[in-house]
Structure 1
Amino acid sequence: MDLNEPYSPTTPRPPGTTVTMKTVLYLFTTFVIAQLVGAVLYGLYLHRKMDKVEGEMNLREDLLFLRRLQKCLKPQEADTTLLDCSAILNMFQDLQNRTSKVPQENYIGRLAGKEEKPTASIHLAGFKDSSQPVSVLQWTEALYAPSDDTISHQGGKLKVTRGGRYYVYAQVTFCEKPRSHAPFNVYIYLHLPSERDQLLLKGMRTSGHSDVIGSLQSVHLGRVVELQEGHTIFINVTDSSKVNYDHGNTYFGMFELSKKSL
């Protein structure tokens, strides 16, 4: 090799070859990405299709079982069919036994405290026990009114055996006396053992100046209270001789508030 020979660099690639390779690489990458996306979409389609087919197969099996059961239940067809009617009837009996256990399981769940207890309620009507004024208004069970063992009443007092939040309400209707200016007050008290009675609600109605004997007015009270087991509630008024006990005029009640309604 002649050292005096001038150095010639490598001949560069034609510009067209580089552009062609980039184009081929771009098309190949696009093709691969399109194949992946298509595979994913096709897989989702197959998954939904299989779920639909499985649901239709289950439905067909149920319908087939019902048809077999119908044939076995008909005496004229049970003798001519090749079905194992004893096995089919045993399966049907097993299904009946399973469904009959559902109420029992719900009852066990209620005993375990898994289900919410039913709300308690009571509604009482005013009851005139004596012609003499009384310190506590008396009550009796109203017609078609709810009542249960959770709330009891005795001596004009309501007593709860289960603590919770209750809505207490009452309406007292009274007769106005002619030319009487004394207000008529209604009080709802909470009786606590070994403690002083607590005033929960107070309502007042000032008598008018009507000269008509027997004119009626009403006082309505209501609120939510937090009660504990053994708490009792009662009502008294300023003058019990004015109270009107006609049907629907004077009443007293309470109901327990469920957690959903709070």
Structure 2
Amino acid sequence: RPKAHLTGKREACIIARKPSLQWEDHLGIAFTEDGMKYEDGSLVIPRNGDYFVYAQVTFRASLREENKGKQQIQHVSQCVTRMARGYPEPSEILSGSKSFNETGNWYETIYLGAAFQLREGDKLFVNVTDLALVDFYKDHKTFFGAFAL
């Protein structure tokens, strides 16, 4: 069965006015198998069927010393976007966001996952609000994948 698990990579491209994450597809715990491909920032679905799609992004920030102790409202979000053959516009299939008040350094994780009927050639990619806040330093913190059901 087609499957892939990708890990965060510190590169970016812009799709639909939001930064789109780039991924590692073969080093460490990352892999693609049985026809699932990674190209140009997206997973490419090899054949029609039901797939479970998931993505986790960990956001983090270190506040400057002069701002520590001052309450700041933060907003972060991610979405998984599908580009289907024959459709001119990408569509969001999963999205999540968090808003919170912080007075110091912070970490926030957003995990998304659901089953979808996908078609051969569909492309899936992950967008975030602010690439500079994404934690790329550990494979288990920021990842993306799909597998046939």
* Structure whose alpha-carbon radius of gyration is higher: 1
- Are the aligned partners of 1:192 and 1:232 in contact in 2 as well (CA < 8 Å)? yes
Shift of 1:208: 2.8
Distance 1:187 1:144, change over 3 A: closer
Please say if 1:136 is aligned against 2:9.
no
Q: SS state of the match for residue 223, structure 1?
A: strand
Please say if 1:170 is aligned against 2:81.
no
Separation in structure 2 between the aligned mates of residue 145 and residue 255 of structure 1, nearest angstrom: 13
Separation in structure 1 between the aligned mates of residue 46 and residue 136 of structure 2, nearest angstrom: 28
The structure in which a higher percent of residues are strand is: 2
TM-score calculated relative to the size of structure 1: 0.48
Please say if 1:193 is aligned against 2:78.
no
* Percent of residue pairs bearing the same amino acid type: 28
Residue in structure 1 matched with residue 123 of structure 2 by the alignment: 232
Q: SS state of the match for residue 11, structure 2?
A: coil
Separation in structure 2 between the aligned mates of residue 176 and residue 219 of structure 1, nearest angstrom: 15
Please say if 1:157 is aligned against 2:42.
yes
Separation in structure 2 between the aligned mates of residue 225 and residue 210 of structure 1, nearest angstrom: 39
Residue in structure 2 matched with residue 58 of structure 1 by the alignment: none
Separation in structure 1 between the aligned mates of residue 41 and residue 129 of structure 2, nearest angstrom: 16
Read off the aligned partner of 2:111 and give its amino acid letter: H
Unaligned residue ranges in structure 2 (runs of 5+): 64-70
Separation in structure 1 between the aligned mates of residue 114 and residue 48 of structure 2, nearest angstrom: 16
Read off the aligned partner of 2:49 and give its amino acid letter: G
Shift of 1:199: 1.1
Unaligned residue ranges in structure 1 (runs of 5+): 1-118, 258-262
Moved more, 175-184 or 145-154: 175-184
The structure in which a higher percent of residues are helix is: 1
Separation in structure 1 between the aligned mates of residue 31 and residue 42 of structure 2, nearest angstrom: 17
Shift of 1:221: 0.3
Q: SS state of the match for residue 19, structure 2?
A: coil
TM-score calculated relative to the size of structure 2: 0.82
Aligned length: 135
- Are the aligned partners of 1:184 and 1:207 in contact in 2 as well (CA < 8 Å)? no
Structure 2 residue corresponding to 1:207, chosen from 76, 88, 100: 100
Read off the aligned partner of 1:125 and give its amino acid letter: T
With CA pairs under 8 Å and 6+ residues apart, which has the higher RCO, 1 or 2? 2
